[in-house]
Structure 1
């Protein structure tokens, strides 16, 4: 009964509170009615939306097992694509983007000196182009190894993947990989560096045919002993007949081929050639090279200078061979360019007497002076090589 009495008292209190409230004014009644109408409209809208959602759910046919799998696979593929794109965007970096000031500070040299070394690196990459293109794996590997080592010295780690691509490239994509290296170096050095267009892809047989077509034989070829008709007598033995016929054919071919070969040899002589230079009898021309002094002037560690000069010696041998070949072909422009290349490197390494000899080759305009200048350069080079070999071994 106590519970019942409590509830009864609560009801009575509510009734009393209602009667105790003051009556609403006309304006308050209108505001209350408007609030009620707005509340009812919102509730009706919610009910309609709920009904529409319920109807659409009832109308949709359930997905089959195959459709569910397709939806799941599409969602997974979309997630993977987003992940790959995000990874590529976050990890992509321009290989030509290097901080020269930071690297120079790390090595301990000035920005100007580092820029010079970077330009020398680009020149070295250009001189090794033929080796990078070579079908000889040893030549290609040596060139890649040289450039990789120098890139380590210059702290250009972004070139490693490009050089690895060149090492692993085949004949189809080799030029593309080399051009990628040169494009990167072009941006780094602000120079236009491109792969030379190869024109030596014609098969050897086609070249030989072309040479034969260019030969003009003014006088007909005469046999030493013309074969007269009805002078050949065959014995009854068919084997002896074949031997005799083969001998006649062979002699006839030799009569024709010999003057043709002589004509080919004559056609291969380059009329523009400066001749040949034999460096085997050149003696070293001594001069003093102080590696410690060079290291102090360049503000570089002695060990780093050693690495540079050893690489320069390898480069010198390769470029000298090209210089001698250019001399035989009468190509003064190439000789001057090689002189400029080696002069720049030797000057940067403070090998001044050697740089002076190369300076003369670079600006030589009279081909008759080249023989003396090249031998003078080679004598100084041999002396420098002997000093470095002794220094490395000690």
Structure 2
């Protein structure tokens, strides 16, 4: 039995407001921030311990060794019954998105096309385009899952534009919280083989699988042997400020990975590597307690929305700590602005309404690309009291707006 208390209930609002990170400093103090992917938790004890000891020793030099990759390999075998992480086929990178860019540079040339599913994590647009590649989108289906027919059409169209095509998949998917099934991933792998598309899987949320779902590493499926995964402990253990991630190559992609420039590995922090390694090696009991808390908050969010915002559509996420809320039935209360996908600082539509009228900060759906307008992404990795207060505020704001506008 896990004796670790729910990590999400360990910090008060006052303690959280003392933080100096992006989540808690972007907006004024009267705003409840449920937007960027930071969790309201303390560090897991094994992570805090290894960092404290390193600082006490002055062990703050350059990173060394393969302990991080070995910890990931052992974690994958324990957690997912997958023995496919070979430390010899891994490379250290500063973080997941920079790792993705470096992999895209290995398998495509400037001007090549990268297919992504929308709505999707906004930096997918910016990082791909800033690396000199073109984005081609394939919309998710109405259930927020990969539409294989739409994906095939995107692969076909992308190949018609040039010789090199890559596909960047979010596994699990951000923002819908979908955990792709093995059958879905095998369908994707078959299409990628047919059309000669190289797959890069962003698996940063892979440890955050909620009860009722099962994570399948993309590299574990038949046909995925020439793909790459980019992984990190940062989301599951709240380590975004401690930079370190790993690129994992499938057996047929090992030669490509060997072409990764040596200087890329200079970016990760030694303290970051120590923290991520400790999380994967010794942090599973804490992770299990966190997942229990997230599952409870997912259920709480469902009931809060039913009580305060019954017109908001909600499909319970299978993974991550992100909820994708369909606010299109509230459109009388807001207007969608014009903005480009991927510009994460832009607020429009319901996110702007809830910030202005409820003092709750959410991620604006339109920045996630096609299919995102009229939606918001809500981060429920917080205490039950903060989550309850936030949704109550949102409901009250809608009620006030309806009262002010009169009968419709």
Give TM-score scaled by structure 2 length.
Answer: 0.21
Q: Which structure carries more strand by proportion? A: 2
Give TM-score scaled by structure 1 length.
Answer: 0.22
Q: Which structure carries more helix by proportion? A: 1
For CA contacts below 8 A with separation 6 or more, give which structure has more relative contact order.
2
